Amino acid sequence: MATQKLNLSRRDFFRKTSALTAAAIAAGSFVTSEDVEATTNNVNTNSQPSDLQITDIKTGTLYRSILRIETNQGIFGYGEGTGPDGSLVLQLKGDLVGENPCSVEMLYNKIKRYGDHNRTGVSGIEMALWDLAGKAWEVPAYQMLGGKYRDQILMYADTPYVIDAKEMGERLKGRMEMGFKFLKMDMGITQIAEIPETITAPPGVSKHNWSGDVPHPLTGMRITQKGLDILAEYAQTVRDIVGWEIPIATDHFGHFMVEDAIKIGLALDPFNFAWYEDMVPFMYPDALKQISNAVRTPLLVGETMFSAEAHRELFEKRAVAMCHPDIIFAGGCLEMKKICDFAEQYGIAAAIHMNNGPVAMFASVHSMAATNNFMCMECHHADNQNYDYLVDVEGLTRPYIQDGFVKVPEGPGFGFELNEEALRQFERTGTNNGMGGPGRGRRSRGITNRLWSKNSKTVKNPTMRS
């Protein structure tokens, strides 16, 4: 009868060979080369990290664009945030194919110069390298990032806005009933944009949050006392419903002038919100410092900022009380950790922006498990029952958020595999279809029977920022 070849991992191999050596010593004999050869013949050696090479990078779409780095040993690494069409990733592929993906920081430094506040492909590649290296070494990604400070990650629940304050309060209370212990809601121009005599603005200036590209300090838009009173009444109603013990963060104030951001902040200070988010853009550190000095609620910015170095002036001026990086914009796992480590030197806490797909979410979980000053991470998918079924996470049960926390996976790399059948089913139907019950959610685009892009050809002579 033919001898069956065992599929042993390196961990199993060292455990078995150590036992063999111990037994041989106890018997008063030595392990021979034949003994070692007999043992290694039963070991799967096609994942030796020193021989690993990148062979291809492919892109697909899931919430945001995702990518898969492939190797000569059949190990994959997943990342998220490649840009709208994955073109930057294909441009950078020529710098990466043939390299050992375990040299994560070296490869990241090789492509970092092509990153920017809106070029997320660099971050996606960095994530995939950590996932791949962890699988090659058979350790969780957090272990390679320095080890973990915590076993679970606190999530804060973003909640869709409604103009009725009582309904908003009930929605937030519903989040608490789901187990969330940290909340966020919109608080600002959306409450008053359609009410007369609440906003003063020059002709042509949009009174709505998502219209117009004029930076806040340049709009000339101001809020009246009537507008401030309505915001304060709204905040009071919400607090009366949810209580005063649970943190509520606030966002989407509108493109008001700096002085009016201060007026809004002072009007809302009595309601003890967790933070005011993006009252002015991050590229105005002096304006942020001016607001921060005037109000008594923490300021927070940073969700589209790239690199730790870009945060230097904000931190040195202590223009904000919290940093708010997003892993797909920040530069990936290690760069986001560096941002938070840098912030800690100035007594600044880290709240993590995360409105991406599950690839970026679990990459963020590993990065923040290894970060000391982490406070909480955003959950933007609490109403989407499809979300948890797009990945299978080793050692975790669905729903992945339990009692307001996500446990840190202990599997190799990020500890998950994409559920490609669920992705294809989600694309075809827009629902779970047997993956946990009915549910509406944002549909993936481009995930059909062929999940990954067919054309993975390297783009030659790319036009890039040097």
For residue 383, count CB atoms less than 10 angstroms from its CB and return exposed for 0-12, middle for 13-18, buried for 19 or more: middle
pLDDT at 38: 52
pLDDT at 433: 32
Above pLDDT 90, what percent of the chain?
A: 68
Q: How many domains does the chain divide into?
A: 1
- The more confident residue out of 24 and 453 is 453
- The more confident residue out of 356 and 3 is 356
Domain for residue 99, yes or no? no
Using the 8-state DSSP alphabet, how is residue 116 labeled? B
Instruction: Provide the residue range defining the domain that includes 198.
Output: 152-417
Strongest mean pLDDT among 45-49, 203-207, 337-341? 337-341
Locus of tokens 């961990």: 11
Among the ranges given (131-140, 297-306, 423-432), the one the predictor scored with the smallest mean pLDDT? 423-432
Residue 6 pLDDT greater than 60, yes or no:
no
The average pLDDT across 309-315 equals: 97
Per-residue model confidence as pLDDT tens digits over 249-259: 999 999 999 99
Q: Kind and range of the H or E element at 212?
A: none
Dihedral pair phi/psi, residue 122, rounded to 5°: -60, -45
Helix (H, G, I), strand (E, B) or coil at 152: strand
- The more confident residue out of 20 and 336 is 336
CATH number of the domain where residue 173 is located: 3.20.20.120
Token pair of 37 as six digits = 């050869």
Per-residue model confidence as pLDDT tens digits over 221-250: 999 999 999 999 999 999 999 999 999 999
pLDDT at 88: 85
Domain for residue 334, yes or no? yes
Domain for residue 179, yes or no? yes
The average pLDDT across 292-302 equals: 98
Domain for residue 461, yes or no? no
Q: With bands split at pLDDT 50, 70 and 90, how would you rate the model's confidence at 271?
A: very high
Among the ranges given (92-106, 338-352, 422-436, 437-451), the one the predictor scored with the smallest mean pLDDT? 437-451
The average pLDDT across 198-211 equals: 84
Q: With bands split at pLDDT 50, 70 and 90, how would you rate the model's confidence at 126?
A: very high
Token pair of 201 as six digits = 């603005």
Domain for residue 252, yes or no? yes
Domain for residue 222, yes or no? yes
- The answer to whether the CB of 69 falls within 8 A of the CB of 132 is yes
Q: Kind and range of the H or E element at 192?
A: helix 189-192
Query: Using CA atoms, how far apart are residues 364 and 123, in angstroms rounded to an integer?
Result: 12
Domain for residue 64, yes or no? no
DSSP per residue, 362-381: HHHHHHHHT-TTEEEEEE--
Q: Mean of the per-residue pLDDT values for the chain?
A: 85
- Beta strands in 104-214, from DSSP E residues, in sequence order: 152-158, 183-186, 199-200
Domain for residue 266, yes or no? yes
Q: With bands split at pLDDT 50, 70 and 90, how would you rate the model's confidence at 84?
A: low
pLDDT at 386: 86
- The more confident residue out of 316 and 31 is 316
